[in-house]
Amino acid sequence: MRVSGRLLGAAAGAVVLAAINAGFAAGAARAADKMADKPKVITLTQTGCQFIEPEGVDHQYKTAKKADCDKINARTEDARLAKAKVLKLKPGTYVFRVKNENVPYMLGFYLRGQGLGRLTLPKTSGGGLHKGVSQDYEITLKPGKYIYSCPLNTTPDYEIHVEG
């Protein structure tokens, strides 16, 4: 009986250990699911007449009003867009965290479908970005081509391609 008691004790210990491990595994799986559900954050920084991230450089444009950017972009937009990085994403929910780094007037953000996608793809927009202020814009992107810009700071239309 002594041997069977040891076996019984070992078996009971194994069952308890398996239950503990299963609990940890279930908890880890729930945590992973919650992380997968969280939107991915994409940070975009506005300075005068541009977003820095797609261009890879802050051109240090000096601007006091929207009309300044209209003039600057008339001269420089084509060359800048030819070098701009296209943002490539998978379908899903994203938070675009947009910051007015140093522009002395209120800015905004406008993300929408490109071309005919403007009619069929989701969009988000808003304003109120004073100097030094950041704002989050959450959107669930479907496959397609999008553009984003700031109509109040007159930036170029930067591209986003959503595939997958």
pLDDT tens, residue by residue, 34-45: 556 799 999 999
Residue 65 vs residue 7, higher pLDDT: 65
**Domain identity same for 83 and 138:** yes
Checking if the pLDDT of 62 tops 50, the result is: yes
User: What is the reported pLDDT for 37?
Assistant: 76
**Domain identity same for 21 and 54:** no
How do beta strands 92-100 and 40-47 pair?
parallel
3-state SS assignment for residue 98: strand
3-state SS assignment for residue 159: strand
Q: Are 91 and 164 in contact (CB under 8 A)?
A: yes
**Domain identity same for 27 and 55:** no
Q: If you average pLDDT over every residue of the chain, what do you get?
A: 87
Percentage of the chain modeled with pLDDT above 90: 75
**Domain identity same for 69 and 148:** yes
Query: Residue 147: which residues within 8 A CB-CB, separation 6 or more?
Result: 111, 112, 113, 114, 157, 158, 159, 160
Residue of 68, 86, 79, 81 lying closest to 154 (CA atoms): 68
3-state SS assignment for residue 86: coil
**Domain identity same for 33 and 78:** no
Number of domains the chain is built from = 2
**Domain identity same for 115 and 149:** yes
Report the Cα–Cα distance between both ends of the chain, in Å, rounded: 63
Q: ∠119-156-129 over CA atoms, to 5°?
A: 85
**Domain identity same for 96 and 140:** yes
Checking if the pLDDT of 22 tops 90, the result is: no
With cut-offs at 50, 70 and 90, classify the pLDDT of residue 16. very low
What CATH number does the domain containing 104 carry?
2.60.40
Neighbours of 67 (CB within 10 A): 10
Q: What is the pTM of this model?
A: 0.78
**Domain identity same for 15 and 60:** no
pLDDT tens, residue by residue, 64-123: 999 999 999 999 999 999 999 999 999 999 999 999 999 999 999 999 999 988 999 999
**Domain identity same for 13 and 64:** no
Determine the structural domain holding residue 92 and report its residue range. 43-162
Checking if the pLDDT of 17 tops 80, the result is: no
Mean local confidence (pLDDT), 133-153: 97
**Domain identity same for 105 and 24:** no
How would DSSP label each residue in 18-82? HHHHHHHHHHHHHHHHHHHHSPEEEEEEEETTEEHHHHTS------SSHHHHHHHHHHHHHHHHH
Checking if the pLDDT of 147 tops 90, the result is: yes
